Amino acid sequence: MKKVIFLLVDSLMPTVLEECLRLKTVPALQFLKDRGRYWRECVTVFPTMTASVDSSLVTGTYPDAHRVPGLIWYDPQEKKIIDYLNGWRCVWKLGIDHCARNVLYDLNERHLSKQVTTVFEELAARGKTSASLNTIIHRGPKKHRVRLPFLARLLTRFRFHDNVSGPDVLTLGAMVVTPVSPQIPRHVQGMRQRFGINDSFAVHAAKALIESGQQPDFMLVYLPDNDHQVHRANPAHAENTLIRVDQRIQQILNAFGSWEAAVDQCVFIVTGDHGQTRIGNEREFNIDLDRLLEPFRVLQLGEELRDHDLVVCNNERMTYLYPQNLERQEAILQQLTSESRIDLIAWKQGNGVMVREGGSGREVFFAPGGPYVDLYGSEWTISGEWIVLDLYEDQGIVRYRDYPDVLHRLYGALYSQDVPMIVITARPRYEFLTRLYPRHLNGGCHGSLHKYDSLVPLIVTGTDQPLNEHPRLVDLKQFIVKLFDAHPVP
Ligand SMILES: [Zn+2]
C-alpha cells in the first residue's frame, strides 16, 4: 500500500490556483494535477474558519457531531468565550493563558467530541502510523509533551503542565519535540515565525521524515502562510503567495529523489480549508455589530456574564449570537433583519432551522428528513421561499448555487451546541466588526456560507479509488481510511 501525504493549504482558492496554472507558475501543483484528478469545487463546512473546518476534515463529520462550533464561540457551562487565538487584542482581553489553553489543550482534549473518531485514531486501530504536522486538530492515540518556548513563557507567564494527544508524530511548531526536531532550522521557530506554526517548519519536518526513512503511512501537513497573506493582500492578488506555497511542495516532492518516484510511492491529496472573499475598502463594508446591537446588553470581552441580553462571537464573515434572555430574542431578530448588509439570519426552530434574509425579511424553513432529496442524497423538509438559500430543484433533486451544501452546513453549525443560538452571515464584500476584533478592509476575509468562502480546489494523485463527483471536505476522512482498508496488511 502506498503512503498518503495530505497537504492542507489554508485559504487555497480555485480561481487563484487556476490563474497560476494558466501562467505556469506552480509546477508542483501542475504536476500533481496532471498525474491525478482535479475538482475545482470541493465544498468545505461552515463556519468557514480553520478550527471548525479542520475538525470536520479530521473526523468526517459536521459540527453538530464533532461539537467544535467555530474559531470563536461561547461556552455556556464555563460562561466563557472560547478563542483559539484569533486577533491579538481580543486574546489579550480574554486572557492569553485562557486562549492558549483553549487551542493547545481544550480544543482536542475537551471540545472535540469523544463520540467521533479522528482519522489518526482510525488509522492507529488499523495498525497504521500517522503524523500531524502543525494541524490544529490532532487527537490521536499517543501522548505528547508540550513545551512552550522560553519567550512565550516569559511573555504570557503561562505554565503548561498537561500532555496533549496526537498521532505517532506530532508537531505544533517548536512546542512539541519530535525525532526530527534537530533537523529543523532554528530561524523558522522564533516568535516572529509564530514559534514554528508556518509553512517552512512543516515542510522541513515532512522532508526530514521522508529522507530519514521515518515517513509514517499517513501524514497531514498544514500550510498556514497563504491564509495570512490573502487576508492582507486580498484574494484577487494571491498568486505570489501560492507560488511560494508551490515551492514548498516542490521541496517535499524533491525529497523522494524525483517527482515521478514521489507519486509512485505516495498518494497525494492537496486541498484548502476554505476560500476568502474580497472586502471593500470603505468603512461601510464593516458591519458594526456593537452599534447595531446597542439597544441590547451585550457581554463585552473580559466581562463576567450577569444580566446581559446576549453574547456575540465574531467569526469574521459569520457571527454566533447567544440570546441569554429569550424574551428579547424576537427584538434581537427584528434588529438584525433591519440591516440589509446582513445576508442570512438563522436560528433553531422545532427540530429544524428558520432562515431569514437580512433587509427583505423573506424566510425559509428546513429540517432533516422529509420528501426532498438533495445533491448528496440527504432527505429534507423545506418550506417557504427557497430563493433565500438559492435552492432549486432539477430532475427531482435539490441543488445548490450560491450556498453550497447549505442545508447540512447551516444545520451543523446551529446544532453544534444545545443552547439557543442565532447565526448571521455578511453579504459578499462585507465583514462583521466588533470591538477589538481584526478587520480586513481592502483585504480578504472568510467565515460565511457563500461559495466565495466555501469552495476549495481538490487534487488527488496516485490512486484510482472513486470519489464523489461532487466532493466535500467532510467526505475525505472516509476516503483516506478506505485507501488503507482497500490494501490491508498481508
Ligand atoms: Zn483566515
* pLDDT tens digits for range 231-264: 887 777 789 999 999 999 999 999 999 999 999 9
CATH assignment of 3-68+112-278+450-485, among 3.40.190.10, 3.40.720.10, 2.40.30.10, 3.40.50.80: 3.40.720.10
- Give the model's pLDDT for residue 488: 56
5-17 pLDDT per residue, tens: 999 999 999 999 9
Return d(Cα 173, Cα 166) in angstroms, integer. 14
| Cα 309 to middle of ligand 1, angstroms | 29
What is the distance in A from the centroid of ligand 1 to the CA of 144?
A: 27
- Residue 423 has a pLDDT of 98
- The alpha carbon of 47 and the centre of ligand 1 are apart by a number of angstroms equal to 12
In the reported structure, the alpha carbon of residue 133 is separated from the centroid of ligand 1 by a whole-number distance in angstroms of 18
Q: Mean pLDDT over residues 208-229, rounded?
A: 95
Report how far ligand 1's centroid is from the alpha carbon of 83 (Å): 14
| pLDDT value of residue 190 | 82
- Residue 291: the pLDDT is 96
Residues 6+ apart with CB under 8 A from 254: none
Cell digits for 247?
515551492
Q: State the distance from the centre of ligand 1 to the C-alpha of 262, rounded, in angstroms.
A: 30
Q: Could you state, in order of their start, the residue ranges of all structural domains in the chain?
A: 3-68+112-278+450-485, 283-442
Q: How far is the CA of 277 from the centre of ligand 1 (A)?
A: 10
The rounded Å distance from CA 406 to ligand 1 centre is 20
Q: Is the pLDDT of residue 490 over 50?
A: no
Task: Indicate the SS3 state at residue 150.
Answer: helix
Q: What is the DSSP string of 168-200?
A: SEEEBTBTB--TTGGGS-GGGSSGGGGGG-SHH
**pLDDT at position 157, please?**
64
Asked whether residue 178 carries a pLDDT value surpassing 90, the answer given is no
Residue 324 is placed in which grid cell? 441569554
How many alpha carbons fall within 13 Å on the CB side of residue 375?
19
Does residue 397 carry a pLDDT above 60? yes
Q: Rounded to two decimals, what is the model's pTM?
A: 0.95
Distance in angstroms (rounded) separating the CA atoms of residues 242 and 248 = 10
Q: What is the mean pLDDT of residues 126-140?
A: 96
- Sign of the alpha-carbon dihedral angle for 52, 61, 319, 357: positive
Angle at 203 between CA 177 and CA 258, to 5 degrees: 130
Give the model confidence (pLDDT) of 18-76 as tens digits. 999 999 999 999 999 999 999 999 999 999 999 999 999 999 999 999 999 999 999 99
pLDDT at 233: 79
Q: What are 398-442's pLDDT values in tens digits?
A: 999 999 999 999 999 999 999 999 999 999 999 999 988 888 999
Confidence check: pLDDT of 325 > 70:
yes
The rounded Å distance from CA 158 to ligand 1 centre is 25
Residue matched to cell numbers 509553512: 199
Residue 224 alpha carbon to ligand 1 centre in Å: 9
List Cα–Cα distances, 470 to 28, 44, 245, in angstroms: 24, 11, 26
- Reply yes or no: is the peptide bond before residue 490 cis, omega within 30 of 0: no
> Which of 31-35, 81-85, 154-158, 275-279 has the weakest average pLDDT?
154-158
Nearest CA to 82 among 59, 55, 120? Answer: 55
Distance CA 185, CA 99 (A): 28
Residues 53 and 57: their CA atoms lie apart, in Å, by 6
Is the distance from CB of 281 to CB of 441 less than 8 angstroms?
yes
Give the Cα separation of 370 and 132 in Å (integer): 40
The percentage of residues in the chain with a pLDDT greater than 90, rounded to a whole number, is 79
Question: Which pLDDT score, from 0 to 100, does residue 483 have?
Answer: 95
Q: Residue 214 C-alpha to ligand 1 middle, in angstroms? A: 32
Higher-scoring residue by pLDDT: 162, 11: 11
Q: What is the mean pLDDT of residues 173-186?
A: 87
Count, residues in the chain? 490
Q: Which of 208, 271, 267 is nearest to 9 (CA)?
A: 271
Q: What's the pLDDT score for residue 237?
A: 76
Return the pLDDT at 151. Answer: 64
Separation of CA 203 and ligand 1 centre (Å): 20
